[in-house]
Amino acid sequence: MTETSFLIRAKAVVRGVSAAGLAEVEENAALLVRDGVIAEIGPADDLAKAHPGCTVFGGPDVVAVPGLVNAHHHFGLTPIMMGVPFAPLELWLPQFRGMRSVGHRLDTLYAAIEMLESGTTTVQHIQGGLSGPEETWFDTVDPVVEAYREIGMRVSWSFMLRDRNQLTYEADETFLARLPADVAAHFGAQVRSALAPVEWHMAFFEEASNRWRARDPDRVRLQLAPANLHWCTDPTLEAIFDTARRHRAKVHMHLVETERQAAYALTRTGRSAVAHLHHLGCLGPNVTLGHGIWTSPADLDLLAEHRCQVCHNASSGLRLGSGIAPVTEMQKRGIRVALGIDQSNLDDDRDMYAEMRLVFALHRPSTMFGRTPTPAEVFRMASEHAAATTGFEGRIGRLDVGMAADVVTVDWKTVARPHVEARTPLLDALVLRSRKDMVRSVFVGGREVVRDGRAIGVDREAVMAEIEARLARPFTPAEAAAQSMVEQLMPHLDSWYRAYPDHGDTRPYRYNAIGDE
C-alpha cells in the first residue's frame, strides 16, 4: 500500500552511523513519511500528537533501520541449486554455460524476494553480459529491471563487458584450436556472439540510460561494468571510462578477485591491476572495484588517493577459495568499503545480516590490539557505503529528513529474547543477533513492500511454484546438449590451468600457520 502521509513508530530509530563510526540512535522515536520522503524524525508521542490523522506502522517493539543495499549481485537461482559445485573461480564460471534458465523475470524475482524479506531494499545488479543481435539487447535489461520495479525494489543495473580471454587467460581462438571440433564450434559461437564492438555497447548504454531515466528516475539507475582487466583490452577500458566521464556514470568493475588475476596483470602489463587502471586514467570517485582481494599496500594507497570504493564480497571469497580482502587495511586508508553478497552468502541466500556477521568475524585478527571493524562500521558498509556505489547516494542508506523513506522494521523482542542488557549497544545487538525472519515490514520510497515478513508486491508462492514447475520438467534437447558440452570442456580447462605458470601458491592475510605452511 502507499499512503501520502504516515508514521513509523519504533522502540528506536537507527538513523545511520557517524563518520566516527558511532551508531546514531534515537530511542522511542518515530518517522513521519510524506510523499515517499522522510519529513520529520522525533519523539514518537510528539509526532503522534502533531499528526493525529496519520496511519501508524511499527510500534514500541520494533527497531527502524535504513534499508540495506546489496552492492554486488548477479542472478537469482544459485549455482549450487543448479548443479554447479564450488570450485576455484576460473573452473566455476565456465560451468554456468550449462545451467538451465527460468527466464529473467522469475530468476530476478526469486533473488528479490530473498533480499526484500531480509531487509535489503536496493541492489547493484551486474548482468553477465550482452550477446546475440544488438536489437535483442533490451530483452536482457528490461525484464530484469521491470521485475525489481514489480516487487518494489530499487535497482542499479549494469552489464559486464568482455572483449578477450573469455574462457582462459589466453586468446580464445588459441584455446579453442586445441579442443575437439564439436566442442570448439559450440563455445566458439558463444564467445563470438559476445564480441560486438565496444562502440555498440556504449551506444546501447546511452540509449538504455536515457530510456530508464525517463521511465523511472526514482528507482532505476544504470552504470557501466567492465568485466575485469584480463577480460578487457586497454582500448575497451578507455572507451568505457570515457563514456562514464561524459555521462557522469558510475563504474563497477571486478578486479583481482583471484591470485591468477593479479599475476596476469603483472605478467601482461608489468604493473599491478590497480596500477594499470591508474596508468590508463581509469581511477576516480565514481569507481567501485568488486572484490579487491589481491590488492597490495601500494594498490590501496592509489585507491585512497583517487577516492575509489571497494565492494567486499566475503562469502564469495571464502566459498570459492579466492581469499580474504584486506578490509582493515582499506579502513586505515579511509577507503569506503561497501558490502555485496555476490552470487549468494554462506547460507546460499541473500540475507545481508548473515553477511554482516561474517564480515565482523572474518576481520578480527589474532593480535590483541589490532584494528577491527565494529558492528556499527559493518552496518555502514551495508547501508550508506553500499548506497554510494549505486547512484542513489544522498537519497538512501540513512534515515534523515529529506531522504527517501526506505525503512525496515525489525522485531526487537525476538532479537533480544530472552534478554539483552541495556549497556549492550543496540546496533551491536541488531547486527550480531538479527536473522532474516526478524524483519517485520519494509518500505521503499514510502511504499509498503513487505508486511509481516513477506513480500507483498508479487504473489511470492506463485513465483516459487512456477520456478519449481519449470525446473521439474525434463531437460530439453538444447539444455542437454549445453550440459554435455560443458562436461566435455571441463577436462580441457583443468589441464590448461594445471599447466598455467601462475595457478596460485601465495597465502597472504592468514591469521596463523602450522610449521612452515
Question: What are the sequence ranges of the domains in the chain?
Answer: 5-66+402-454, 68-396
End-to-end CA distance of the chain: 58
Question: How large is the average pLDDT for residues 442-464?
Answer: 97
pLDDT given at position 500: 86
Amino acid of residue 370: G
Architecture of domain 68-396: Alpha-Beta Barrel (3.20)
Question: How large is the average pLDDT for residues 155-172?
Answer: 97
Residues facing 418 on adjacent strands:
none
Residues facing 477 on adjacent strands:
none
pLDDT in tens, 85-116: 999 999 999 999 999 999 999 999 999 999 99
Tell me phi and psi for residue 409, to 5 degrees. -110, 135
What's the pTM? 0.96
Give residue 508's pLDDT band: very low, low, confident or very high (50, 70, 90). low
Q: Report whether pLDDT(299) > 60.
A: yes
Q: Are 127 and 138 in contact (CB under 8 A)?
A: no
Grid coordinates of 508: 597472504
Q: Is 371 helix (H, G, I), strand (E, B) or coil?
A: coil
CA atoms within a 13 Å half-sphere pointing along the CA-CB vector of 35: 3
In words, the CATH class of domain 5-66+402-454 is: mainly beta
Helix, strand, coil % over all residues of the chain, rounded to 5: 40, 20, 35
Q: Report whether pLDDT(453) > 60.
A: yes
